[in-house]
Amino acid sequence: MNKKDQVTRERILNEAEVLFAKNGYDAVSVREITTAARCNLAAVNYHFGNKQKLYLEVFRARWVPRARRVQAYFRESLASQDTVSTSAVAQALAEAFLKGPLSDDERQRQSQLMTRELIQPTEAFELLAGEVLRPFFKELADTLRPFMPKGLGNEGLMLNILSMFSMVIYFNFARAVVSRITGRDYDAAFKDRLVEQIVEFSLNGLGKGEKEGA
Amino acid sequence: MNKKDQVTRERILNEAEVLFAKNGYDAVSVREITTAARCNLAAVNYHFGNKQKLYLEVFRARWVPRARRVQAYFRESLASQDTVSTSAVAQALAEAFLKGPLSDDERQRQSQLMTRELIQPTEAFELLAGEVLRPFFKELADTLRPFMPKGLGNEGLMLNILSMFSMVIYFNFARAVVSRITGRDYDAAFKDRLVEQIVEFSLNGLGKGEKEGA
DNA sequence: TTGACATTCAAACGTTTGTTTGATACAAAT
DNA sequence: ATTTGTATCAAACAAACGTTTGAATGTCAA
């Protein structure tokens, strides 16, 4: 294995991720990928075996590590608080996903790749669910458990977490609708607004609390 | 235009909807569609011009009318209540989308088609957003407005509606994850549970209220 | 310098793709 | 019975697809 090889392999992975995220697996041809990566057509099969295995490797080598970075950001952001509370968890969660350690392009790719797997699971879904989502939800559950009402079972807690999660990923992947409905661009100010929205809604639902603090 | 023609055209639309929803535009071939519809390959181009126009017609002739049925169901369900309240709106919304007038297959197709357009808008997105989502959100906003805190602007109200909506569509399209995390099948009982979850979360967020009523 | 191995490359493989064509079948109107 | 218009069909089209091949190139150890 050469140095030049690594470079080509990496370039293919990068371009494949961008194209798969933007257009989906079937709409992207191996020729598109290799042209974007400025290498020969046969390079995909040489380095990855075939197109499907390249797609899987995008998740293994790119998506999962990035998801772990987001998770780590969430963990640290929570640890930096003096006291953990429900609102701190919601805040850290929303910030990690909507702002967090990823660039805006990375974030968009990440949620597009994930959402495609959620709609129509392939082999990559096992990676996504088993290595990232399930452990992360488990961690969230353990963190939130002490603050939940006694009567709330594990299923109820999980559903609450999924409810928060639904907002977080929705505001990431459905930008087209959100922009169209609110009439706002996805700039830094709007992302702040969305974090605020998710936190507030997670705490009080439809407005009961009139933003007493802050 | 013949009677037989209508039948073929309808069969193509039906099979196209099923396949586009399940596999996405690019993963479905015209041959697959015409084989499933038991007609000649050239029928798609004869009746619809080309594949892309067929895809668009699926939204025009199938998706939009179904979305209107869901909307109507929501409206009637709300009208049948003696008094409109925030919780009644949330209840009617969640029920319309998760149970509502559609069969389970229809519901799944509907949200898969929509979610694909949300991730990666095509020409069909204009139909979806302009003819269905925007007017529906407008209606929701007008209904909820009287119950919202005075300080809440139009943008805040819209974001609240989008937050509810995010849960509703998430619990529809991300069945794979939801099932995997909660360990439950999407049977009638679980859908009831999800409606309850969405209503409760929409009203109280993360649990502040310990389900005082009911 | 030679040999062994890893990587790139142009070219071709056999399929499958969306679309077009021209003949045929069928219905209703003249 | 003949004309007219519509719908279906098998067959073919060029283009694009994923993958394979075998030769060329580069790299490093012996």
Share of chain A above pLDDT 70, in %: 94
Determine phi and psi for B57, rounding to 5 degrees.
-65, -30
Q: What is the pLDDT of residue B5?
A: 57
Instruction: Give Cα B191 to chain centroid, integer Å.
Output: 15
A41 touches strand C (CB under 7 A): yes
Q: Is B212 exposed, middle or buried (0-12, 13-18, 19+ CB in 10 A)?
A: exposed
Q: Which two tokens stand for residue B125?
A: 């997105």
CA angle A204, B148, A170 (to 5 degrees): 55
Q: What is the pLDDT of residue A214?
A: 33
Q: Residue B210's closest chain A neighbor by CA?
A: A149
Task: Encode pLDDT of B176-197 as tens digits.
Answer: 999 999 999 999 999 999 999 9
Q: Stated in angstroms, how far is B119 CA from D3 C1'?
A: 53
Q: Which two tokens stand for residue A17?
A: 């991720």
Query: Residues 83-122 of chain A: which lie with beta carbon within 7 Å of strand D?
Result: none
> What type of residue is B78?
L
User: Are B123 and A150 spatial neighbours (Cβ–Cβ below 8 Å)?
Assistant: no
Q: How confident is the model at residue A209 (pLDDT cuts 50, 70, 90)?
A: very low
Residue ranges of B 172-211 with Cβ closer than 8 A to chain A = 173-174, 176-178, 180-182, 184, 193-194, 197-198, 201-211
Q: Is B97 exposed, middle or buried (0-12, 13-18, 19+ CB in 10 A)?
A: buried
Q: Stated in angstroms, how far is B126 CA from C20 C1'?
A: 30
Nucleotide nearest to A33 (CA to C1'): D18
**Does residue A28 surpass a pLDDT of 80?**
yes
CA angle A101, A103, A105 (to 5 degrees): 145
Rounded mean pLDDT, A4-22: 91
Rounded mean pLDDT, B102-106: 97
Q: Where are the alpha helices (DSSP H) in A134-187?
A: 134-144, 154-173, 175-182
Of residues B121, B160, B174, nearest to A207 (C-beta): B160
Q: Which two tokens stand for residue A78?
A: 């929570």
Rg (CA), chain A: 19
Q: What is the mean pLDDT of chain A?
A: 93
**Does residue A40 surpass a pLDDT of 80?**
yes
Cα(B134)–Cα(B124) distance, rounded to whole angstroms? 14
Cα–Cα nearest to A100, from B60, A108, A19: A108
CA angle A185, A196, B197 (to 5 degrees): 110
| Nucleotides, chain D, CB distance < 7 Å | 6-12, 16-22, 26-28
